[in-house]
Structure 1
Amino acid sequence: MIAMSGLRVVMLAVLAGSALPAPAIAALPEPVRAMVDAAIATGDEGKVRTVVEIARTTYPGDAAELDGILKSFETRLAAAKAEEAAKKEAALRSAGMFRNWDGRGEFGGFRATGNSANTGITASVSAERKGVDWRHKLYARADYQRASGVTTREQYLGRYEPNFNVSPDFYVYALAQFERDRFQGFDARYAASGGIGYQALKTKDIQLSVKAGPAYRVTEFTDGRSENRIAGLIGLDFAWSITDRLKLTQATNAVAETGGSAIAIVDSRNTSIDLLTGLNAKISDKLSARFSYSWEYDSNPPAGAVGTDTLTRMTLTYDF
């Protein structure tokens, strides 16, 4: 009887124990949760990932909860980015033609070789408007030198180029260009072109695009002659941010960028090539120092003119 009673007690104890709740799993420690919440409050995705990874390594038993917190943050962040992108696109689409332009003015001196060998002043202005599908680029430049009442350098260039994106990498372009350079033998040279362009590289630091298409060119020479010709255009635009911070002097930090452009217009009688390479050093948010070198070539210059001109420019630029 005593043995049976003992067995009954043991069985009752076992049954009672099986009915007890399982021990609770420890929640994420409050200091760790506070640290994760503080990282989330910054909105910095990289910082949140770093903090969560450290917490996961330190408290592997709480990995599931930490993963849930990170996934929830990423979902909210993606939704916020999508909403911001949608608002930005809507603002760009509704903006008027004269809004959202970024411009740059440039002024300084030049040294020329070729049809004239002298120094003088140079000034240019450029503007660009980027929309969702369209991009507009304007550029105008003047180089001028006069000494002892005689003009020895007078060159003007104006260009307008609208682009339309047909895909993330391809676009179609139109180009209208005007040039005047009496020392190269023409009072006016007009060119119009249209074709397709390709964005070959597009990263944070390097951008490279190429374009090509047919062109039509009208040249009015200083001797009164005029020529109209069908031609072909090949163009290249390149930009490279060398470094984020470049120390030019002990007291000046600057951002340096280098870039180049090239336009070649080819016809059966005269091929012209315009190459421009420059280096910008940002002195402040708006002001930069710029060094540039341009090489201009005409395969069939008028009588008395040479085919190659070079200009070295030292200028200050102001962004507006």
Structure 2
Amino acid sequence: MNKTLLAASLLTLAASPAAFAQDKMKPFTMEGEMGFIFTTGNTETTSISAGVTAHQELAQWSNDYNIEGLYKKETVETDGIEEERTSAQKFFASAQGNYKLDNPDYRLFGFASYEDDRLSNFDYQATLATGWNHKLYETDTQSFEYSIGPGYAFAETQEGEEQNGMIVRASAAYQWLISDTAKFTQTVSTEVGADNTKSRAESALTATISGNLSMKLSIKLDHNSNVDSDVEKLDTETAVTLVYNFF
């Protein structure tokens, strides 16, 4: 499938996590995050991580959007010769739209995602899925929801081999407002297919610095069950970023 069409399909849908209870009356919330790491000396590195998440709460729909990217470049000197290499270049976007039934905690969802990780086993990976979403509980400080349903995965390896087929997708999102200035979020998802099982997870702790500006500590896990022998199945990313709440 054409990459442009896959990426464009994200604009029609929306992905967890859900908004906090205190934000549920807001029609739209959005926050952006960014982190930088620069080192000099025997090894020179430049690392940039960035992301945007948004939530839209309507009378009949509850929509979520997520975009994130990572770039890392290294300059290493060996025997007096400098070698510059890119050690990470990753883009991920996902979106999920939840259509509320008579009981607004029961929804039907549509999901789409697209990932381009230049240094992974895959040239790209994309997913379309639909099914059942349930907001299991929501209080003033905590919320939990899950989604499960069938879908279709599109993927192409670095060698040009296509891996397309039916999948079952399941995801869950938990949020805890620890205090007025701190929150914890946990998201996890898995897409089980005949060729590959792709799983993602993120644990994050966010603390307000001043006004709309916060600091976020996060750990991300990205796992593929079927990769080449010289490629790691699990990628991890630990980051400290600044987060700005636009709305």
TM-score range, shorter chain: 0.7 to 0.9
Matched-pair contact (CA < 8 Å) for 1:290–1:316: yes
Unaligned regions of 5+ residues in structure 2, if any?
Answer: 1-24, 38-44, 76-83
CA distance in 2, matches of 1:159, 1:297: 17
Q: In structure 1, which of residues 258, 261, 264 is the aligned counterpart of residue 190 of structure 2? A: 264
1:154 match: 89
Q: In structure 2, which of residues 139, 148, 167 is the aligned counterpart of residue 231 of structure 1? A: 167
Q: How does 1:135-214 map to 2 (within 5 A)?
A: 135-148=62-75, 149-166=84-101, 167-214=103-150
Unaligned regions of 5+ residues in structure 1, if any?
Answer: 1-91, 93-98, 111-117, 245-254
Q: CA deviation at 1:172?
A: 1.0
CA distance in 2, matches of 1:223, 1:258: 40
Matched-pair contact (CA < 8 Å) for 2:117–2:124: yes
> Which TM-score applies when normalising by structure 1?
0.62
Q: CA deviation at 1:109?
A: 4.1
CA distance in 1, matches of 2:158, 2:130: 28
CA distance in 2, matches of 1:236, 1:271: 16
Q: In structure 2, which of residues 222, 226, 229 is the aligned counterpart of residue 300 of structure 1? A: 226
- What is the one-letter code of the residue matched to 1:170? Y
Quote the sequence identity (%).
25
CA distance in 2, matches of 1:302, 1:233: 23
- What is the one-letter code of the residue matched to 1:262? V
Q: CA deviation at 1:168?
A: 2.9
2:203 match: 277
- What is the one-letter code of the residue matched to 1:256? A
Q: Number of residue pairs matched?
A: 206
The ranges of structure 1 where at least 4 consecutive aligned residues each deviate by more than 4 angstroms after the TM superposition are none
Matched-pair contact (CA < 8 Å) for 1:109–1:313: no
Structure with greater strand percent: 2
- Which fold has the larger relative contact order, with Cα–Cα distance below 8 Å and residues 6 or more apart in sequence? 2
Q: CA deviation at 1:311?
A: 0.5
- What is the one-letter code of the residue matched to 1:181? D
Q: CA deviation at 1:229?
A: 1.0
Q: CA deviation at 1:221?
A: 1.1
Matched-pair contact (CA < 8 Å) for 1:257–1:281: yes
- What is the one-letter code of the residue matched to 1:123? A
Q: Any idea what SS the aligned residue of 2:119 has? A: helix
Per-residue CA deviations over 1:253-274 (Å, capped at 9, x if unaligned) read xx11001111100012211110
CA distance in 1, matches of 2:213, 2:167: 39
Q: CA deviation at 1:119?
A: 7.3
Residue 241 of structure 2 corresponds to residue 315 of structure 1: yes
- What is the one-letter code of the residue matched to 1:129? Q
Larger Rg: 1
> Which TM-score applies when normalising by structure 2?
0.79
CA distance in 2, matches of 1:286, 1:294: 24
Per-residue CA deviations over 1:68-125 (Å, capped at 9, x if unaligned) read xxxxxxxxxxxxxxxxxxxxxxxx9xxxxxx943211100147xxxxxxx87220001
Q: CA deviation at 1:300?
A: 1.0
Matched-pair contact (CA < 8 Å) for 1:157–1:178: yes
Q: CA deviation at 1:275?
A: 0.5
Matched-pair contact (CA < 8 Å) for 1:184–1:302: no
